[in-house]
């Protein structure tokens, strides 16, 4: 695939190192959200295809686990190099398939490249622990071993980055993978699998099964031979997956929604705060799990902040993300557009004041694209639905507060706990805030987005279930701890008993 505009692509399964289709072929269209046009088709697979993928993975994993981890890591290094060579091409596919503007698409591909090199480094570490035994002539250590078969289920909003957060640590850890990408974004999945293929990953170590969540996703979660599920997506789906995994005693890592806030204190650099809010709220058209959807502002600077935000929002050009001058792309599809618009209606009914936006846009050139105006509400009360529920679109609610303490309380008064941010010049507040904000990620004098891959990524409360993607912590999802005792005394030594 070159840098050309995409059309007529067909995405099928990749099982046991072969691009394959089932006997009965059924497809759904892949739509470019900027134009509303079909750019290809995705195969809709069934449970039987998942079974085939698991069989292939089981066979491959046994051998893969015996490849020394530094050699497994070499492969990831090659994956990173290929991604780097193809960065621009991948970014252009991403923009056409998912809609985010090209600059952000490049950033997302770069995140995958960073993850490849970072996890390649982990192949030469995968550190365990040694510790003294309580007995003489006995050695004690704990080591990481692969979990086995990993089921990966990913959303459409970061179609390549999230896949790399999960598949790279799984693969370097000696596991084999069965991956179901979002139905909206199979092209990026296919490109990543092609890169694994080119890098020389043995057949069966990664398997791609395309299809719906209810068919393929559910079959992966229910499969008795899949040992761990790593899921990123909505709370609704994550909860059902957790219930199933609970019943099956299956390990599950969940990364779900957010209701992230930027706090702007009375001493904040307002120019910087406006830039941070704009980038966090309207980047990826508000469809990031870390998107800023609440601005908690000290009442003494509220009016100034609103004025500056309104001026800045006027410059946000809306359109096809392939155009370098466009700042805000489309949302993913028609139902997302409707859901966002419904929330705007709810906000108005609840008594929030609409300052800007609030409408579906009929784009002059791309009349079938899915565009929503960047939208700003003010005088929002913390308990209103628009201040509590994830909208996942370009809609921001300004919530005025009287003090630092109230700002923290409002920030923490939601069921989610992914990301938060504070703009202030007061060092005492900075340290109190990073202690008291109850999210998995905290930013100081920056918006709510901008994670770097060598730090753990994930949220508290309703956002997750205690695991983390990326960072060395990701390895805990994909490896088991094994404790090994080597007794070289030549006699029976009983722990806790023969300790004198």
Q: Given the rule CB under 6 A, which residues bind ligand NDP?
A: 153-158, 180, 182-183, 212-214, 217-218, 221, 232-234, 237, 240-241, 255-258, 289, 390, 392, 418, 459, 463
- Shorter beta-carbon distance to ligand NDP: residue 180 or 223: 180
- Shorter beta-carbon distance to ligand NDP: residue 95 or 424: 95
For residues 51 and 58, is the Cβ–Cβ distance under 8 A?
Answer: no
**CB 225, min distance to ligand NDP, A:** 17
**CB 229, min distance to ligand NDP, A:** 9
**CB 463, min distance to ligand NDP, A:** 6
Tell me the CA distances in angstroms from 94 to 187, 218, 442, 444, one per residue in order: 8, 26, 28, 30
289 is catalytic: yes
- CA dist 396 and 33 (Å) reads 22
**CB 289, min distance to ligand NDP, A:** 3
Nearest Cα neighbor of 166 from 481, 473, 459 is 473
**CB 482, min distance to ligand NDP, A:** 29
9, 289, 292, 390: the catalytic one is: 289
- Shorter beta-carbon distance to ligand NDP: residue 179 or 377: 179
- CA dist 375 and 286 (Å) reads 10
CB burial of 398-426 (b: ≥16 within 10 Å; e: otherwise) equals bbbbeebebbbebbbebebbbbbbbbbee
For residues 58 and 26, is the Cβ–Cβ distance under 8 A?
Answer: no
- CA dist 181 and 190 (Å) reads 9
- Shorter beta-carbon distance to ligand NDP: residue 230 or 424: 230
- Shorter beta-carbon distance to ligand NDP: residue 188 or 301: 188
210 is catalytic: no
255, 306, 373, 390: the catalytic one is: 255
- Tell me the DSSP string of 301-345: GHHHHHHHHHHHHTT--BS-TTSTT--B---S-HHHHHHHHHHHH
Burial of 226 (0-12, 13-18, 19+ CB in 10 A): buried
Q: Which residues are catalytic?
A: 255, 289
């Amino acid at each position: 695939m070159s840098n050309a505009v995409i059309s007529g692509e067909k995405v099928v399964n990749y099982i046991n190192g072969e691009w394959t289709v089932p006997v009965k072929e059924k497809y759904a269209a892949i739509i470019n959200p900027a134009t509303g046009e079909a750019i290809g088709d995705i195969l809709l697979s069934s449970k039987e295809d998942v079974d085939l993928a698991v069989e292939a993975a089981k066979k491959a994993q046994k051998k893969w686990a015996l490849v020394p981890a530094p050699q497994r890591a070499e492969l990831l290094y090659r994956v990173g190099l290929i991604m780097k060579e193809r960065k621009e091409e991948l970014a252009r596919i991403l923009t056409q398939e998912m809609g985010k503007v090209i600059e952000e698409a490049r950033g997302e591909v770069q995140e995958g490249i960073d993850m490849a090199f970072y996890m390649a480094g982990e192949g030469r570490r995968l550190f365990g622990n040694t510790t003294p035994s309580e007995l003489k002539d006995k050695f004690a250590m704990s080591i990481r071993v692969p979990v086995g078969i990993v089921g990966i289920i990913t959303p459409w909003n970061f179609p390549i980055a999230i896949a790399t957060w999960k598949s790279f640590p799984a693969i370097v850890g000696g596991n084999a993978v069965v991956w179901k990408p979002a139905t909206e974004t199979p092209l990026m999945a296919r490109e990543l699998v092609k890169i694994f293929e080119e890098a020389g990953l043995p057949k069966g170590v990664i398997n791609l099964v395309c299809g719906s969540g209810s068919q393929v996703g559910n079959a992966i979660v229910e499969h008795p031979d899949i040992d761990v599920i790593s899921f990123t997506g909505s709370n609704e789906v994550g909860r059902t997956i957790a219930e199933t995994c609970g019943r099956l005693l299956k390990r599950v890592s969940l990364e779900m929604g957010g209701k992230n806030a930027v706090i702007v204190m009375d001493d904040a650099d307002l120019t910087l705060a406006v830039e941070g809010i704009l980038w966090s709220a309207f980047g990826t058209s508000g469809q990031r799990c870390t998107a800023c959807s609440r601005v908690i502002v000290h009442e003494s600077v509220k009016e100034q902040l609103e004025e500056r935000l309104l001026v800045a929002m006027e410059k946000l050009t809306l359109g096809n993300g392939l155009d370098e001058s466009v700042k805000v792309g489309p949302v993913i599809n028609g139902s997302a557009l409707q859901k966002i618009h419904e929330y705007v209606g709810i906000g108005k009914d609840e008594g929030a004041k609409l300052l800007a936006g609030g409408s579906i846009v009929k784009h002059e050139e791309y009349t079938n694209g899915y565009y929503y105006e960047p939208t700003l509400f003010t005088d929002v009360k913390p308990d209103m639905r628009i201040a509590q529920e994830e909208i996942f679109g370009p809609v921001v609610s300004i919530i005025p507060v009287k003090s630092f303490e109230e700002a923290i309380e409002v920030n923490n008064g939601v069921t989610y706990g992914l990301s938060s941010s504070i703009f202030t010049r007061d060092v005492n507040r900075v340290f109190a805030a990073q202690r008291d904000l109850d999210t998995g990620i905290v930013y100081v004098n920056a918006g709510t987005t901008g994670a770097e891959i060598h730090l753990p990524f994930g949220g508290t409360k309703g956002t997750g279930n205690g695991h983390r993607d990326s960072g060395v912590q990701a390895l805990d999802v994909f490896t088991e701890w094994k404790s090994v005792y080597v007794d070289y005394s030549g006699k029976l030594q009983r722990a806790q008993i023969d300790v004198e």
